[in-house]
Structure 1
Amino acid sequence: MRLPSWLAQHLAALRALIVLTIVLGLAYPLLMVAVARIPGLAHHADGSLLAGNKGSALIGQSFTDKDGKPLRQYFQSRPSAAGEGYDPTATSASNLGPENLKLLNLVCERSKAVGELEHVDGARPYCTPGGEGAVLAVYPDHAVSLGEACPARPFIAQYQGRPVQCAEPGRDYGDGVTTPIRGDAPEHPAVPADAVTASGSGLDPHISVAYADLQVPRIAAERHLSEAQVRRLVEEHTEGRTLGFIGEPAVNVLQLNLALDGS
């Protein structure tokens, strides 16, 4: 007996639903769970949690107090633009371009702060001594320091014969010619780039070897260890280039700080 076409279509749809539910709703997820338990993959599948569930080896953390100030006994991570900092639910970059004044101000402010923390020169090109972006809006008869709101004193008094003024809060200076001023900062600043810029994901758990080395004297002094002891720990937690040639060596900050606590 031939079934009516409408009933045959409904039965075909039901069979497809049952088959797809078994294959995609049960078999495939169970297969993926089984693959994730293969030795060598299970650690990553579980989130690469470290001993005592103190964090993940794949997600960075901030080592600051309740006021956001660096804990001097710990290595500091690079800045993060993910939420309030290293928020896995808000992974992102700042999306600010390299010529954005807001980003430049952040970089300058961070470089000054890191320099003061590590007792090195925090100066870098296109930053004022006060930790603001050294950018002028230039007009025919004067210039305005965009990063320094009134009543601040501009970082330079004159630019090409034009007097330099502070920026009036709330005023738009888009009609001026935006001009960055390099200044006399060294070409290679003492504060590494990863100390003042966030990673693309905002979750990078690593810092450069240069930034780790910069922090060694402070860590050694705070923990009453020799610099050689601290440098040895840095070397032990330095990861080489991916596949031996991709990227640069990097230091996992959380693993290094846990090793410090256990030393």
Structure 2
Amino acid sequence: MLAQLRPAIVMIVLFTILTGLAYPLAITAIAQLVLSHKANGSLIERDGAIIGSSLIGQNFTSDRYFHGRPSATSAPDPADATKTVDAPYNAANSGGSNLGPTSQKLVDRVTASIEADFSAGRVPAFEADAVTTSASGLDPHISPENAQAQVPTVARTRKLSEARVRGLVNAATEHRFAGIIGEPRVNVLRLNLALDTLR
């Protein structure tokens, strides 16, 4: 019986070392050598400090900045751990709202978002990504149309010409890979950083 168990134990130990240690370490080393920026989270620095990642959205609320998509992520309520509170772009709790097109809660949220834009004197962006969340709740991109709809508000608040801000949006627009894969998009954090460099 021991003669039959020994090869099984040796194979378990061997494949644990190969697939559990050697392979992950080799892939990590290759990623660090070939794609170190992406392997380390695509972090963005300004003045030597990490201010975010190009892969995770941030909750910009000031009219001086372009706003990302709404985020459906949440966090535990500090007052009651059995409940949750809204925590936009909480990477520790990624997930969409799972609200369908017939959901009254979704209709109410979209309506409230549009009314908030009107009441703040902003031109509401009627693009779908301006009022709906992404599947992860962390999407750092918006459509070029959504960004263009926000230009008048940002330009007015910063006392810049709309043409200059539109040019910035056009320059920040990422196009389809190889002309066919994906959709045109604008990374909100990168766009806002470029906006801050304007004088």
Name the TM tier (shorter chain). Answer: 0.7 to 0.9
User: How many residues end up aligned between the 2 structures?
Assistant: 183
Aligned to 2:53, the other structure's residue is in SS state coil
What is aligned with 2:92? 89
Pick closer, same or farther for the CA change 1:11–1:104 going to 2, 3 Å. same
Deviations, residues 130-170 of structure 1 (Å, cap 9, x unaligned):
xxxxxxxxxxxxxxxxxxxxxxxxxxxxxxxxxxxxxxxxx
Q: Once the 2 structures are TM-superposed, how far is the Cα of residue 31 of structure 1 from its aligned partner?
A: 1.2
- The verdict on how the C-alpha distance between 1:31 and 1:38 changes in structure 2, with shifts beyond 3 A counting, is same
- Stretches of structure 2 that go unaligned for 5 or more consecutive residues are 75-86
Q: 1:260 aligned to 190, 195, 199, which one?
A: 195
| Alignment partner of 2:30 out of 11, 27, 35 | 35
Q: Tell me which of 16, 20, 34 is aligned to 1:25.
A: 20
Residue 241 of structure 1 corresponds to 176
Flag the structure with higher helix content: 2
2:122 pairs with 119, 122, 126, which one? 119
Partners of 1:75 and 1:212 within 8 A in 2: yes
Stretches of 4+ moved more than 4 A in 1?
A: none
94-103 vs 227-236, which deviates more?
227-236
Structure having the higher Rg: 1
> Secondary structure of the equivalent of 2:186?
strand
Partners of 1:58 and 1:104 in 2: how far apart?
A: 28
Specify every segment of 5 or more residues in structure 1 that has no aligned partner in the other structure, as ranges.
64-69, 123-189
Cα separation, 2, equivalents of 1:97 and 1:27: 44
1:95/1:47 Cα in 2 relative to 1: closer, same or farther (>3 Å)? same
Structure 1: how far apart are the matches of 2:117 and 2:185? 19
1:157-189 CA distance string (max 9 Å, x none): xxxxxxxxxxxxxxxxxxxxxxxxxxxxxxxxx
Question: Residues of 2 paired with 1:85 and 1:59: CA distance?
Answer: 11
- Relative to the length of structure 2, the TM-score reads 0.83
Q: Does 1:8 align with 2:11?
A: no
Counterpart of 2:94, as a letter, is T
Query: Identity of counterpart residues, as a percentage?
Result: 50
Cα 1:242–1:111 change in 2 (3 A) is farther
Using a 3 Å threshold, how does the CA distance of structure 1 residues 225 and 195 change in structure 2: closer, same or farther?
Answer: same
* RMSD over aligned Cα atoms: 1.9
Q: TM-score, normalised to structure 1's length?
A: 0.64
